[in-house]
Amino acid sequence: MIRVGLVLAAGQSWRFGSENKLLQLYNGLPLADHVADTFRAVPLDHRIVVVSDPQVAALFDGFDVVHLDDGTSEQSRSLRHGVRHAVHRGAERLLIGLADMPLVDAGTLTQILTGCTDTTASCARGVAGPMPPACFPTAMLSDLMTLKGDRGAGALLRDIPVAAQVLVPPDRLRDVDTPADLAGLDQPGSKT
């Protein structure tokens, strides 16, 4: 079975301000570096990152880098490009994570990866329900390729059975959209 990891790191960081949030330091490392290291610790055959910033790409040593350089920030476009590359790599399981979620650990990613079957996807479950990271089987990759807009795979995640959702402490599923989110990563009860 070919297991492929995909990190989406091509967002424009509009809500963060003028600087790329993925390059901002958290515990002494750029935010995206935490996610790259976590994906390196998961048993995967290939790792892919979709980026729009060459500085972010440099953090993902050992990953196949897919560059989006036309300034389009549509989340589904980034996802489609990454999925297309994963299909080229022969993905039978595709584990997808977001570069702005630095607190998701390798154990959680591995649980999500192993929870995926030939016919059923798996994902994290937080207080708001199913959410990334998620893993999809080959049979569902064509569904990912048809997504449009900035909603990503949210509609597909809602269809994942609860039994295939990995319950994750809410503090681990925080994403960083604003400087306040970054500052609050180590504070219990901050945005999830």
pLDDT for the residue 56: 94
pLDDT for the residue 96: 97
pLDDT for the residue 147: 81
pLDDT digits (tens, 9 = 90+) for 135-154: 999 999 998 888 876 666 77
**pLDDT greater at residue 19 or residue 122:** 122
Task: Spell out the CATH class of 3-183.
Answer: alpha beta
In this predicted structure, the answer to whether residue 74 has a pLDDT above a threshold of 70 is no
pLDDT for the residue 13: 59
pLDDT digits (tens, 9 = 90+) for 43-64: 999 999 999 999 999 999 999 9
**pLDDT greater at residue 99 or residue 12:** 99
When pLDDT is averaged across residues 169-192 and rounded to a whole number, the result is 77
pLDDT digits (tens, 9 = 90+) for 152-178: 677 789 999 999 999 999 889 998 888
Token pair of 90 as six digits: 């022969």
In the chain, where are the structural domains located?
3-183
In the block, residue with structure tokens 């290291």: 37
pLDDT digits (tens, 9 = 90+) for 90-117: 999 999 999 999 999 999 999 999 999 9
When pLDDT is averaged across residues 10-39 and rounded to a whole number, the result is 85
